[in-house]
Amino acid sequence: MCGIWALFGSDECLSVQCLSAMKIAHRGPDAFRFENVNGFTNCCFGFHRLAVVDQLYGMQPIRVKKFPYLWLCYNGEIYNFKQLQKQFGFDFQTLVDGEVILHLYNRGGIEQTASMLDGVFAFILLDTANRKVFLARDTYGVRPLFKVLTDDGFLGVCSEAKGLINLKHSTSLCSKVEPFLPGHYEVLDLKPSGKVASVELVKFHSCKDEPLHVACDTVEALPSAGFDLETVKSNIRILFENAVRKRLMAHRRIGCLLSGGLDSSLVAAVLLKLMKEINVNYPLQTFAIGMENSPDLLAARKVAAHIGSEHHEVILNTEEGIQAIEEVIFSLETYDITTIRASIGMYLVSKYIRKKTDSVVIFSGEGSDELTQGYIYFHKAPSPEEAAEESERLLKELYLFDVLRADRTTAAHGLELRVPFLDHRFTSYYLSLPAELRIPKNGIEKYLLRLSFEDSNLLPKEILWRPKEAFSDGIASVKKSWFSILQDYIDQQVDDLLLEKAAEKYPFNPPKTKESYYYRQIFEKHYSGRSSWLPHYWMPRWVKATDPSARTLKHYKSATQE
């Protein structure tokens, strides 16, 4: 996890512009480099490093003797770099996984490069010999990327939007700062003036398609094809374990977020099993957050005891949670209601990890709800086919919601996130299964995933079959939910009259509740006029919902309400 930043065709002094690069310093607390491009005095790269792989030669932009005309700035991890090196006979100059991007590009161009990378990535590749700039981002946008391109060819690229919004330019920068689309690469011509012109934007991978890099995966072919239940369950276990195994690549200590729900518990259990197999010489640290005796804390404690992790509990103080709201919105760059609610706990637990431990590479369960139909409203899906379509829609929009939350809350504290449920191979296989197999069954969401691990003894049965908690109830005390505490506080902060006139003040995505209005005010304070970054609020489908929380749905009944 790092922070990348680059400018092409800047009219302003680069020493002034580079102040914007410091807005993402939190993403790379270990080192910083600012480098001009030879022959293009108005083009430069900025890089904030979190050293996870090759501590000696990992600074960027990466340049190697074999390709002196190539410059690479990337944020991510390429899990199959050794397999690609072996398959194509690449001669590496460093131990950096990202070096493989230069060799792949030299061998087969940008299309093959993006398609063959098994990992999470956002990169800027400059080819001065052919006067081209390439941008690319992984399938689910696990690693963030934003860009701004003016009509006269000034290009700014950054891991987070906050590194672009204050750039200086001779013409107005009302050209939109916008997220770069996941699963795409863009080709731009580099003119002698340093300005650029976009040539094409290409989608190189869809979540349903089996990725091209399967040919050089550690699990080359599944032992059996077909959709009989035993075969499917076995394949799910094999591919999920493989997804966790490949993500063990790190020279820094590995930890795991553990809410006590199915997803994070499965990740933690498989992770610890594999760490033992390869004789990692330290215990796995797991981290849970919640109010005193909250359901999540109790469940996480049970899982940690079962798997034998070194468990840490962070007690959520309501005052601390409320005070963190503005910092969280600034980090997230969104005003989405459920994203902000769920981010507060994750932001505070990440803060604890950074201050109190030496774990840096953090595993988490993001992506499972979207992939395996874990949201409670999936019980209301009109048909298996519509549930399957909704699952794909959610996966395509992850970069706006859960993946955004997971990246920004951890990156704000210099941690690197790893999300095995969003492994390309695992997700494409799961989405290839018949729609009927993937829907909730017997009133239980993620039924197929749970069933696949039922005989593994990885988790206690009551955790494996634990119903989904709304996040606000999962971290709540038995006395009062975090949801209720937030509502009570915000009710005092927003006047009824303000809410009545919300649509006049904020015509795009107008706030409908005091909570939504409160978040929007804070967002506009830091990112005025940028409301289009969120195309729509996250809301459940097939139900008449006015709030995104699962706790407002009829199917949902929290332990605190029983």
* pLDDT on residue 221: 76
Rg (C-alpha) for the chain, rounded Å, is 23
> What is the value of pTM for the model shown?
0.94
Pair 51, 94: CB distance under 8 Å: no
Phi, psi of 358 (to 5 degrees): -110, 15
Structural domains of the chain ordered from first start:
3-203 (3.60.20.10), 228-491 (3.40.50.620)
* pLDDT on residue 558: 44
* pLDDT on residue 548: 83
Task: For residue 18, give Cα distances in angstroms to 4, 34, 194, 216, 237.
Answer: 12, 8, 17, 39, 47
As annotated, the binding site for ATP includes: 257, 289, 364-365
Question: With the CA atoms of 92, 97, 98 and 100 taken in that order, what torsion angle do they form, in degrees rounded to the nearest 10?
Answer: 40
Report DSSP letters for 170-221, one per residue: SS-TTSPPEEPPTTEEEEEEEPTTS-EEEEEEEE---TTSPPGGGGGSSS-S
Task: For residue 104, give Cα distances in angstroms to 424, 456, 554.
Answer: 19, 39, 52
510-525: per-residue pLDDT in tens? 999 999 999 999 999 9
Q: CA–CA separation, 545 vs 533, rounded Å?
A: 23
Pair 501, 316: CB distance under 8 Å: no
Q: Which residues contact 434 (CB under 8 A, 6 or more apart)?
A: 227, 384
Pair 340, 334: CB distance under 8 Å: yes
Look up residue 16 and give its two tokens: 């002034």
Q: Dihedral sign, CA of 425, 427, 432, 434?
A: positive
SS3 (DSSP) at 8: strand
As annotated, the binding site includes: 97, 257, 289, 364-365
Active site residue 18: no
SS3 (DSSP) at 494: coil
Tell me the pLDDT of the chain (562 aa) as tens digits.
699 999 999 998 888 898 999 999 999 888 888 899 988 989 999 998 877 765 556 788 999 999 999 999 999 999 999 999 999 999 999 989 999 999 999 999 999 999 999 999 999 999 999 999 999 999 999 999 999 999 999 999 999 999 999 998 876 655 689 999 999 999 999 999 999 999 999 999 999 999 999 888 877 678 767 899 999 999 999 999 999 999 999 989 999 999 999 999 999 999 999 999 999 999 999 999 998 888 889 999 999 999 999 999 999 989 999 999 999 999 999 999 999 999 999 999 999 999 999 999 999 999 999 999 999 999 999 999 999 999 999 999 999 999 999 999 999 999 999 999 999 999 999 999 999 999 999 999 999 999 999 999 999 999 999 887 655 455 555 567 778 889 999 999 999 999 999 999 999 999 999 999 999 999 999 999 999 999 999 999 998 877 886 555 555 544 334 3
Q: CA–CA separation, 293 vs 252, rounded Å?
A: 32
Residue 337 per-residue DSSP state? H
64-78: per-residue pLDDT in tens? 999 999 999 999 999
Residue 441 per-residue DSSP state? B
Does a cis peptide bond (omega within 30 degrees of 0) precede residue 61? Answer: yes
Nearest in space to 404 (alpha carbons), one of 262, 267, 535: 535
Side-chain half-sphere CA neighbours of 438 within 13 A:
29
Q: What is the largest CA-CA distance in the chain?
A: 69
Phi, psi of 221 (to 5 degrees): -135, 145
* pLDDT on residue 561: 41
- Name beta bridge partners: 416: 361
Kindly name the residue from 2, 43, 73, 158 that is annotated as catalytic: 2
Within 10 angstroms of residue 106's Cβ, the number of other Cβ atoms is 16
SS3 (DSSP) at 436: helix
Amino acid at 142: V
Amino acid at 480: K
Report DSSP letters for 277-317, one per residue: HTT-SSPPEEEEEESTT-HHHHHHHHHHHHHT-EEEEEEPP
* pLDDT on residue 443: 92
As annotated, the binding site for L-glutamine includes: 97
SS3 (DSSP) at 273: helix
